[in-house]
Amino acid sequence: RFSFDVDMYLERARKGEILEEIAIKVICAKVKEVLASERNVVNISSPVTIVGDVHGQFLDVIELFRVGGEVPNTNYLFLGDYVDRGAASVETITYLILLKLRFPQRFTLLRGNH
């Protein structure tokens, strides 16, 4: 039986680990439920840090949180374009969707064009 501990997976993802296939499948299913339950227009509490394209630059994302503040101490709005170009697209999107699972009211992910 598969046990899901979002904090454990979040810590592993923060270290840049690529998670097991079963874990990724469960994470995707859970974040799909969270995102599907959100309205098309979401209210975001200020102050908020707005983040543009990260394009799979995992280390830049980690640095962003180091400088800008960790969730849940800071509200974040990501504008999309989470993958593509960077060497760590899987690590980047995994970490971001785990943050969404853990802090759904403090962490907003918008759709970009990839």
The catalytic site residues sit at 114
Helix or strand (DSSP H, E) at 81: none
- The pairs formed by 35-42 with CB atoms below 8 angstroms and a separation of 24 or more are 35/100, 35/109, 42/108
DSSP letter (8 states) at residue 89? H
* Cα–Cα dist 93/105, whole Å: 18
Contact 113, 81 (CB under 8 A): yes
CA–CA distance, 16 with 103 (Å, rounded to integer) = 19
